[in-house]
A and B are shown apart, each in its own frame.
Chain A
């Protein structure tokens, strides 16, 4: 698929990229890793009909193959290991942020990511699967592991009450929050694994909104469709510069009634949405939700006065590409 930019769009993107680099250092970080992403606004939509049937857990091998293929498409690498190495190196300490509220990230999807990271030589011990609470991780099917061996898995609130957050308040834009020690101190690379789902206030609960799980006071930032608060959270130095990959779990999706589970609005999309431009991934995923809403005869998010305006705000701040016209969608 080819995209043609006007001169104005081109200049706007340059300006946005410069602003984004100044804000978050994202682009500088990619360069520091070794190689820049092949296409920062390329988003992979990987689907397999088989994934839509049975339990997701039955399809672990399929998910690995699908994810590896997505990474190859994303990078243009000849093999899966090479694709993973494009973004990750053995010394990385990687935090995999999952979503365990309501319709949750499938553990099988996270297993596929961990397997990919290990192909790049990242030791299992360098990987932490995390969200806010131990109890929510367990309810979502994750096995807690705080030991020194294997992939770790625990919530911010897993140790002594309250100790999981940094003691000082970090201010960024309109937010003032204490960040999870996991994201602030224990990792230097982030992978987000949101679920393709609706949110009653923000419009969608995808990669960016998911990082409300990294701060101690998300309840303070629900006004105005969570905008610009979501962007203030993810543009913080603990998040954007470290956020290297988004794998949106769309094996099971929900187009309305989120974030709690609403079975009547859930459907087996049977796929993954993958990209390194976290704004672009959210933009494409939000569009998939809107498409499903339309197909079901539901009002658009805009008509419901809960447009995911934080995506556009993130684009305007240069954190990534929010305009669908500027995003290359690649099907796997």
Chain B
């Protein structure tokens, strides 16, 4: 019955070759190829076996308003696309059909893998566990450095997909004992309805849901979704509007608003900042970003500074020097952020977790593999300091977002 049975084969020769090349470029040996030591999400549209979805996976969309002349206004993300009949929004996966807005990717999975949760990366969320990781096509921004552009920058009819309704996905996930579903690789915000329904069902079945996102979403749908999710990772692409506009076709301000909302809701979240030489790696910018994080989000939100490799539309810049990551990490630590990591550099000490209080090593990692985890009941075994994060499935599923009072609720243009 499943056409995803073959998804979890060992890597192909080509995969191994790609990873080997990537490791070589990183200047490091890579002894754990089979686990995928790099944050290089290679799950592509061609990787899915079995019968492919024919046509589009249509479903009524949430968060839109009707306009005159059969036009609609999407209020899911900050773009607020106004879309004529038969046209689509910027994301390419939400379409106006006769004055009603529809998602075209409800259950249309174009990538699926079982990944270590560290690959997301979430380092303070059930370390050492796996996440059933899925994606649908499309994105609501366009990062010129996107490593998954073959799915994120294409329309759903242009990538191979298989249909997996929420119920089937949960069954599939249970059979593989994955405690978490990760909505990842492309942009889960724009497959909102599927994430919304699946995450609710998963939680009923004791499975957590984490969203790996660019944070480009409006407040109301975000708060609604957080009632179903158990953690979020946000890519903070840079700390300047210039970078967001020129390199991502987006805006910084709404992403910062998202981070403040996540903080207010109380859900566990971590930040990833991909440092690209000359574009977003200046010490001043990293300092400003780190100061903002401490001031607005608090010192316990982990920051991952990760290494860029040339791809998609940025092929004229070198990979990020490891020294840049180390410098950025130090700047953030000096600013008062408690947990700062260096990413995409396997076996670097900056991949490990150290107690913010006594500085002892708590979790040792090699790539995405957890070699040792000394945290006990959420505490440092040496100084008993509470370590921020989600350390058990029970804790994960017990999360309840802080609800807003009626006067606090954001303006809802759809009502």
Contacts and interface: CB of A to CB of B under 8 A. Distances in A.
A217 interface: yes
Contact of B313 (A176, A258, A262): A176
Contact of B154 (A133, A217, A222, A223): A217
Q: Is the interface of A mostly helix, strand, loop or mixed?
A: loop
A325 B159 CA distance: 46
A219 B88 CA distance: 7
Given A162-B160, A220-B90, A169 B154 contact: no
Contacts, number: 64
Q: Is the interface of B mostly helix, strand, loop or mixed?
A: loop
A152 interface: no
Closest 7 CB pairs of A and B: A260-B85, A219-B92, A200-B84, A260-B86, A162-B158, A176-B313, A219-B88
Contacts of B159: 161-162
Kindly name the residue among A133, A161, A171, A222 whose own CB sees the greatest number of chain B CB atoms within 10 A: A161
B89 interface: yes
Given A162-B154, A169-B313, A176-B144, A219 B89 contact: yes
Interface residues of B, number: 29
A217 B52 contact: no
B129 interface: no
Kindly name the residue among A164, A217, A223 whose own CB sees the greatest number of chain B CB atoms within 10 A: A217
Contact of A222 (B90, B142, B153): B90
B126 interface: no
Given A162-B45, A162-B154, A176-B144, A220 B249 contact: yes
A260 B72 CA distance: 13
Contacts of B227: none
A260 B45 contact: no
Contacts of A217: 92, 153-155
B313 A165 contact: no
A157 interface: yes
Contacts of B70: 260
Contacts of B153: 216-217, 220
13 contacts: A133-B157, A157-B157, A161-B45, A176-B312, A216-B153, A219-B88, A219-B91, A220-B92, A220-B142, A222-B81, A259-B84, A260-B87, A262-B69
Contacts of A133: 157
Nearest to A264: B69
Contact of A161 (B88, B144, B158): B158
B340 to A, nearest CB: 33
Contacts of A161: 45, 52, 157-160
Interface string B144-160: 10000100011101111
Interface string A209-236: 0000000110110110000000000000
A257 interface: yes
Contacts of B71: 200
A102 interface: yes
A45 to B, nearest CB: 28
Contacts of A201: 84
Contacts of B312: 169, 176
B69 A257 contact: yes
Nearest to A167: B150
A317 B323 CA distance: 44
A201 B81 CA distance: 11
Contacts of A258: 84
Contacts of A157: 157-158
Interface in B248-283: 249
A36 B132 CA distance: 61
Nearest to B94: A219
Nearest to B141: A220
Contacts of B88: 219
A101 interface: yes
Interface string B303-333: 0000000001100000000000000000000
Contacts of B69: 257, 262
A102 B87 CA distance: 10
Contacts of B92: 217, 219-220
Nearest to A102: B86
Nearest to B158: A162
B89 A216 contact: no
Contacts of B81: 222
Nearest to A217: B153
B90 A259 contact: no
A171 B314 CA distance: 11
